[in-house]
Structure formats: structure tokens, C-alpha cells
Chains A and B, each alone.
Chain A
Amino acid sequence: MSLTAADVKKIAHLARLNMSDTDVEVYSKQLSSILEFVEQMNKADTTGIEPLAHSIEIAAPMRDDQVSETNQRAAFQAIAPQVEAGLYLVPKVIEGE
């Protein structure tokens, strides 16, 4: 699979990464060669094989419905880039965006 510049730009946008034109060129080469490399997977016949998401075969543990957390806003927001009135601030969110 060879990635075009447009592909790289689209992926970068999905991942919210900036890409200069030079970056796009470098990444399209590197990513294409990595994809070509991983496509060795196609050598394996996986018909009828179940995809494996986890190596352990147990079910999700569940906790009781109890409030165990206390308000730690001050500590959490002490390391935040920008807060005011207890809110995290970001550039204007346009409604329905």
C-alpha cells in the first residue's frame, strides 16, 4: 500500500497533527514502507481464525455502584494550562460543531 500526499494529510487531520509539505513527503515514504512491511501478514492464511484482542481469557471485573471519589479539582487544575471559574478553557467551541 503506497500512501499519497493526500492520504497522509487526511490521516494527519484525523489524528490532529500538523504536517508541513516536507513532513508530508517524508511521512508518505516512511509510512508506505512500513505498510508494505506489515502487509507480510497477508502470507498467513487466517481463514476461520478468531481475532484475539486480549491474551487473557477472563471477563470484565465489575465494581459495586458506590461513590468513592472526592472533589480534587484544585489538585487536578493546578497542572492545567488554562482554567477559570473551575472550567477548562479552550478556543471558542462553536455550537453544533
Chain B
Amino acid sequence: MINKTIAELSKELHAKKISSVELTQQFLDRIKKLDKNLNSFITLTEDHALADAKKADAQIAKGATTPLTGIPFAHKDIFCTQGIKTSCGSKMLDPYISPYDATVVTRLKDAGTVLLGKTNMDEFAMGSSNENSFYGPVKNPWDLERVPGGSSGGSAAAVAARLTPGATGTDTGGSIRQPAALCGVSGLKPTYGRVSRYGMIAFASSLDQGGPLAKSAEDLAILLNAMAGHDERDSTSVDMAVPDFTATLNDSIRGLRIGLPKEYFDEGLDKNVAIAIQNAIKEYEKLGATIHDIHLPSSALSIPAYYVLAPAECSSNLARFDGVRYGHRCKDPKDLEDLYKRSRSEGFGSEVTRRIMIGTYALSAGYYDAYYLKAQKIRGLIREDFINAFKKVDVIMGPTSPTPAFKLGEKVSDPISMYLSDIYTIAVNLAGLPGMSIPAGFANDLPVGLHLVGNFFEEVRLLNVAHHYQKVTDWHTRSPKGF
């Protein structure tokens, strides 16, 4: 059962071959047994889960269901869940019980999912290895000495280890796609504005986007159907029709034009990752796609621009954590300044502190033009690059990450080398485009992710293209030994 996709589990539940309570119990048991080694969950919501599952079974008995009714599920701990701890991986919010549900949480709850728990993550979604969590690092189920990627590392590891059939993630610079790649699962970052950010604790508001992680593209389509859509409580949520993402999964991709950016296959790329990606491209050629070389000349500057813009936004977004209304408050503050400084310094970890510092500096008087404004202009150039590329091709492909999962601790002391692990994903956030990572083989026995980038609001095409690959390959069905 645990190896089945959401689509398959839904059939089992609807055929009453298993109840949601039984299924939920199986996953809860697995989490309790196996997560000690992984640390992929921060909070397990066993009581909630069993209550949700009972309700789902009643719905199934009545016949009033959706494809997600009774499906066990997990939320990244960045999504606010009413009455349940929402920590964002930070000591700052360790005591925080959200008074309300995020829109994504409401929608998935309304669709009938069963909440198993909240997954571990890099603090405030800042990180690429999940080593920045207040709750300790998450391990990669393919090799417990390696990182699962980040910041949605808990979600990716939990799906890979079959602790949950699916989970939410958020992606500001690659935080869904990179861990999906490193853990050998499928992950989708929708177009900016497609999924509501309401109740998703902000890191960098103009870049953050929530999305699903699961085993297959088909599952992602089912999940996106529930998650996507306009939300009047999010001003940046786009008011446009949402297609049924599952309806076109099997449409032919004959004649599909695939663009390969020269810049994504340069010297920084691990040789074995390159081979896996080239094999995946060959698979697409067999499926009738044509391959085109393209250029994204400004993409080299995406990481520098990102590490100005995202910290600038985060320095402001995280100013609300001041020990006054919620969250961590230092003991016996002697005055107001002491309250602020100690509460914040005690509450935030070192990567968050670094980014707040960089962002504060980049916005400060005298430096704004040289850093923030310059970065916004480069953001404009990067977006132009993609707009031009999509005049010639339908999707852009490449590796999700330059290397497979690296060792825990390997990059902790070198922030820049850590930043470079998102080199292929970050430009997509700056441009606001949808992107995906799907399993595409192994390099040194570690999963490799194929990165797919689509034009604005063309998640339908990305899912369709990914689904065809998953019909002719079985990488996405592989599970790590011991899980």
C-alpha cells in the first residue's frame, strides 16, 4: 500500500479495499518507527489524522468524495494550521500555535486529505540542505549521511521514505525542486500567483510559491487541482481560470520543442548527473520531441541578484518577530531594545541572521541603488531571457541540481557554496515561471532530478510532459532501501 501513488490509493479507498483509518494508521506507524532516523517531521498530529480519516471514511460511504478524500498527507511547517504548532523550523515560533489555517491548508482539508503532521524544514525556508532547522537536520533516506536538500527537505524525505503519499512545500529559490531531486521524488513549483500565499509564512514575498511534492506527476496534478486558484486574501494571487490539471496528462507530446540552455550544462555540473540528464533527453526524443539549444545569458547572475532581493524582503518580513504579540520572548527584558534584540537573536538561527543582515544592508541608505535596484534590473533581464526563449521552445530542461545529495556538514561553513546548489532553480523564481523536478535516474547511487521549466501558467504542459516520461521510465517508483 505504502508504495502506491495517490491516484492508486484513491482507487483503493473508493473501492473500499482499505479504509482511510487503516491507511492512515499504516503511515502513522511507519512515521513512528522510521522517522527517528530521518527527522522529517516536526509535529505528528495523530489524533487529528485519525479524526480526519474517520470523517473521510464516512464521506466515502456516502459517496461524496474527491480524488483526495481519505488520503494521508503532510504540510511543510511553514503553512499555518489552526490549533496546531506552526514553527517554520525556528525557535522563534517553537511556542506558536496558529490561530488560523492557510488557504492551501483549508483547500486540502476541504478536499478530504488527512493531516499526518507537519514536516521539517530549513528555518524560515532559508537553506538548501535542511541543516538550518531548529529541530535538527533531516537525513536523506537514500543515504543517511547526506542531506535531503532544502528548504522543503522534510517533505521530500518523507515522501521518498514512504512516510506520506504527498506533502506541501514552498519554493523561493528551488526549495521544492532541489529537495525533490535530491530525494528522488516529484515536485512542482507553480507559476507565481497560481497558489495562494495566505497563511504561508513569508520568506521573500515576491518569490515564494507553494506547491506539492509526491511520487508522480499525476499525483502532483491531483494535488494542484485542490491547491490552485484565486484567493481574495492574497493580493498577488492571480484571478484566472484554473484548468483540470489531470485532464490533459495523456495528451500527445509529439512535436514538443525542448530547449536546453547552454548555461545549464557547464563545468559546475557533476559528470554523472549530466549523463542522467542526457539520457532523459534521449527518452524525450524517442517520444517525439525536438531538441533546441537556447541561451539564457543573464542566468549566471541569478544567484547574486537573488541573494540581494530575497534577503532584502526577508529582513522586512521577519521584522514582525519581536517578542510582543506571539513567538519567542526573551526572559526579563530590561528595556524595549533589550526585548527586541535578545528575543530576535535568541529566536533566529545563524543563516536567518545572515540573511536579515545582508537584506538590511542592501536596503540601507546609500546602498539601495547599488544592490537592491541593480538586482531588480537583473531580475528584469532574467525574465526577458525566458520570455525570448519561450518564443522558440515549449519547455526548458536541464538538471535540477548540479550535484546529487551532498554530505551533512559539507557546506555548512561556506554559505556561498551552499547558495550555488540552487544555481539552476533560482532564475525560475525570479522570472515567476512554473518549474518541476522529476526523478531521472541515479548518479553514484543517489537520485538525480530532471528540471522542467514552463511558460507562465503552463503547469498543464509541464505535468503532461512529465507524465509521459513517467509512463516510459520507472525512476519515480524506486524507493530507498530500508524504507
Contacts and interface: CB of A to CB of B under 8 A. Distances in A.
A–B contact, 8 Å CB criterion (strictly below): yes
Interface of A: 3, 7-8, 11-12, 14-19, 27, 30-31, 33-35, 37-44, 46, 49-56, 58, 60-61, 63, 72, 75-76, 78-82, 88, 90-93, 97
Given A46-B374, A63-B232, A90-B324, A55 B301 contact: no
B377 to A, nearest CB: 4
A53 B206 contact: yes
Interface of B: 95-97, 99, 192-193, 206, 232, 235-236, 238-239, 298, 300-301, 303-305, 307-308, 315, 319, 322-327, 329, 333-342, 344-345, 348, 353-354, 356-358, 360-361, 364, 371, 373-381, 383, 415-416, 419, 430-433
A75 B99 CA distance: 7
Nearest to B338: A91
A91 B335 contact: yes
14 contacts: A11-B360, A14-B360, A34-B415, A37-B303, A37-B304, A38-B305, A41-B308, A49-B381, A52-B376, A53-B206, A56-B432, A58-B238, A75-B99, A92-B336
A40 to B, nearest CB: 5
Q: How would you classify the secondary structure of chain B's contact residues: helix, strand, loop or mixed?
A: helix
Contacts of A81: 323-324, 326-327, 329
A80 B86 CA distance: 15
A21 B343 CA distance: 19
Leading 4 A-B pairs by shortest Cβ distance: A55-B432, A51-B376, A46-B377, A81-B329
Nearest to A89: B324
A90 B340 CA distance: 10
A80 B192 contact: no
A46 B381 CA distance: 8
Given A37-B304, A55-B432, A56-B236, A79 B353 contact: no
A52 B307 contact: no
From A44, A50, A78, A82, name the one whose CB has the most chain B CB atoms within 10 angstroms. A44
A54 B429 CA distance: 10
Given A17-B341, A49-B377, A90-B339, A61 B239 contact: yes
Contacts of B431: 55
B373 A11 contact: no
B361 A80 contact: no
Contacts of B315: 15
Nearest to B311: A34
Given A79-B96, A90-B324, A27 B354 contact: yes
B124 to A, nearest CB: 14
Given A38-B308, A50-B377, A55 B206 contact: yes
Nearest to A20: B345
Nearest to B99: A75
A11 B364 contact: yes
